[in-house]
Amino acid sequence: MSTLTTPDAVRARAAELDAADPLAGYRERFVPMGEGRGAEAGEVLAYLDGNSLGRPLKAAGEALDRIVREAWGTRLIRSWDEQWMDLPLRLGDRVGEVALGAAPGQVVVADSTTVMIYKFLRAGLEAARTADPARRQIVVDTENFPTDRYIAEGIAAECDAELVWIEPDPATGVTVDEVREAVGPATAVVLLSHVAYKSAWIADLPGITRAVHEAGALVLWDLCHSAGVIPVDLDAHEVDLAVGCTYKYLNGGPGAPAFGYVAARHQASMRQPIQGWMGHAEPFRMGPGYEPSPGMRRFISGTPPVLGMVPLGEMVELLAEAGMPAVTAKAADLTAFVVEVAEGLLARHGVRVDSPADPARRGGHITLGHPDSRELTARLWEAGVVPDFRNPDGIRIGMSPLSTSFAEVAEGLLVLDGLLAGRG
C-alpha cells in the first residue's frame, strides 16, 4: 500500500528521489520549456509525453545552426562527398552501439518508421518464401500500434500472404506461449513491438525470438518504445530484423528518420522493395538496371534526411555519456514513483494503473486508467501538464529519464489530483 496519500508526501518523496538522482544534471542540457510565465501563458509545467516526442537538446540547435552555416552553407554540394553519403551508416552504427546492442554494419538511419517497417517486413516475407514457398503467413497482434497492423494488412494483400492474429491481454502484452501457438511451418515473419505502446508491457524478446526461430521463421521487432530507454541487445539475442523511431527517447525531433537493423547473416539474401538510387551498388553510375549495394546501404532508398539526423546524433552521444544502464535504472524509478502516487493519492478518485505491476515487465511509461481520461487529458493540457490519451480510457505518463525530474512528475500528478477532486 502506498504511503503517498497527500500532496506534501508526494512532493517530499519527489525531492528525496531528485536529491539521489545521478542523472539530475543532464536536465540542463535540454532547451527550457518556458520563461517562468506560467501555464496561463502557454508554458509547460510538467512534460509527461517524452515517449511521444522527446524534448530538444540545446546542442541540437547549435549543431543545426552549424550545419546550415558550414557544411550546407559553405561546402554546399561538396558535403555529400565529404560527409553526408555515409552518414546513414555511420550514425546507424553509433545508434547500434549505444542503444541497440548491435555490432557495426547492421543499422541504417533512413526514411520514416512506416516506410522502414514496410521495407523490412516485405523483404523478410520474400526471403522466407524464397527459402520455402510454403511460408506465406505474417503473424501480428491486435494490440500492436496501428501502423504495424496496417502495413501488415497491406503487404498481405499485395503479396497474397495470410495474416495470423494474436489477441493478447491489452493490460499486458504478447507472451511466448501465445507466439508458440501462432507460429508453424507456414510462418514467414512475426511482427511485434518490444514495448507495448499502451500498457508499456515489455515482451520477452529473447524468448519470443527463440520461439520464432524454432518454427523456422523470422522476427521483426518494433523498438519505438524501447530504443534509448530499455536495453534490447539485438546481436546477443540473434534478432533478425528491427525498426524504431528516433523522435521519442532518442530525441531526434518531429519527423526525425527511423533506424533499421538487419542481422549481418541476412543482408545478402534480402531484397528491399523500394529500389532507389541511393541503395544501388554504384549510385552515380545511373545505369539501366538496379544492382543492390552490399551491406546495409542496400536498405537505403532515396536521399537521406541529413538535417533530420543532426539532433539524433547529439542525443546518441548524450546517451553514451550517461550510459544506458543508468538511463534504464532511472526510467524504472520514474515509473515506480508514478505507480506510488497512483496507488496512494490518486486511487481515491478511482484511478487505476493499467501498466504491469512488475517493474521488470514495464517500459518507460505508465498508463493510468479512468473513465474520464479523454476530458482529463484535455484539461491537463490547458493547465500546462502534457501527457497523452490512449483509447479507450488511458492517460499515458511518458517520462524521458535525462530530461525529466521527479518534482516535475509530482507537480503534474498533483494537478491531475486537483482536477479529479474538483479543484481545477
C-alpha cell at 269: 539474401
> Rounded to whole angstroms, how far apart are CA atoms 380 and 385?
5
Measured CA to CA, the distance from residue 343 to residue 353 in angstroms comes to 8
Judge whether 228 and 99 are in contact, CB under 8 Å: yes
CATH class of 62-320: alpha beta
Q: Which residues are catalytic?
A: 145, 222, 247-248, 396
* Residuewise pLDDT in 10s, the chain (424 residues): 688 999 999 999 999 999 999 999 999 999 999 765 555 657 899 999 999 999 999 999 999 999 999 999 999 999 999 999 999 999 999 999 999 999 999 999 999 999 999 999 999 999 999 999 999 999 999 999 999 999 999 999 999 999 999 999 988 899 999 999 999 999 999 999 999 999 999 999 999 999 999 999 999 999 999 999 999 999 999 999 999 999 999 999 999 999 999 999 999 999 999 999 999 999 999 889 999 999 999 999 999 999 999 999 999 999 999 999 999 999 999 999 999 999 999 999 999 999 999 999 999 999 999 999 999 999 999 999 999 999 999 999 999 999 999 999 999 999 999 999 986 5
Q: Which residues contact 40 (CB under 8 A, 6 or more apart)?
A: none
In this structure, are residues 295 and 106 in contact, taking their beta carbons and an 8 Å threshold? no
Residues paired with 261 in a beta bridge: 107, 242
Q: What are the start and end residues of each CATH 3.40.640.10 domain in the chain? A: 62-320
| pTM attached to this predicted model | 0.96
| Element (DSSP H or E) covering residue 166 | strand 162-166
User: What's the rounded Cα separation, in Å, for the pair 191 and 84?
Assistant: 32
Residue pair 353/343 in contact (Cβ under 8 Å)? The answer is yes
Fold of 7-48+323-422: Aspartate Aminotransferase, domain 1 (3.90.1150)
Instruction: State the span(s) of the chain assigned CATH 3.90.1150.10.
Output: 7-48+323-422
